[in-house]
Amino acid sequence: MAEPYAVASDYAEYKGVEDDYDDAERARINAGLLNAQDDIDSVIRVSFYDPTSETVQTALTRATCARFDYAETTGDDGSGALDLFQSASAGSVSLTRATVSSSYRVDPIVAQIGQKAATILANAGLLTTAVAHR
């Protein structure tokens, strides 16, 4: 198995806090960072880069931490569930579907991993746009 892009100590450094997590919190953060890594991998899968480059490794670590932080802050686990409903109730079940104005479009990468992670990857040259011509 490949080394993870980020671990709890990297996340603490990213946040600028002490790495004094107890074992349970460290395990939770590491699991969340692995989920974030999956999201990062999904947006860079068509990119060409040198995985041994220190710049690339730093960007992958920071972007993974940023994706995890986005999930922690927004409650967005990457499942897309937050995008489906504007509101929900439990008693007598009431759901209101979310609507999106046609004039407002969110970049799908930003929607998936958050603005900060997308910016880190873009600045490192890790986001590419594929264009098909007929």
For residue 116, tell me if it sits in a domain: yes
Looking at residue 109, what is its pLDDT?
Answer: 84
For residue 130, tell me if it sits in a domain: no
pTM: 0.77
Region 36-46: mean pLDDT is: 94
Q: Which domain holds residue 110?
A: 8-123
Mean pLDDT is lowest, of 13-22, 51-60, 70-79, for: 70-79
Q: CA dist 83 to 46, 111, 112, Å?
A: 25, 9, 11
User: How many distinct structural domains can be found in the chain?
Assistant: 1
Euclidean distance between CA atoms 5 and 36, whole angstroms: 9
For residue 134, tell me if it sits in a domain: no
Residue 88, pLDDT > 80, answer no
pLDDT band at 83 (very low <50, low <70, confident <90, very high): low
For residue 100, tell me if it sits in a domain: yes
For residue 56, tell me if it sits in a domain: yes
Residue 132, pLDDT > 50, answer no
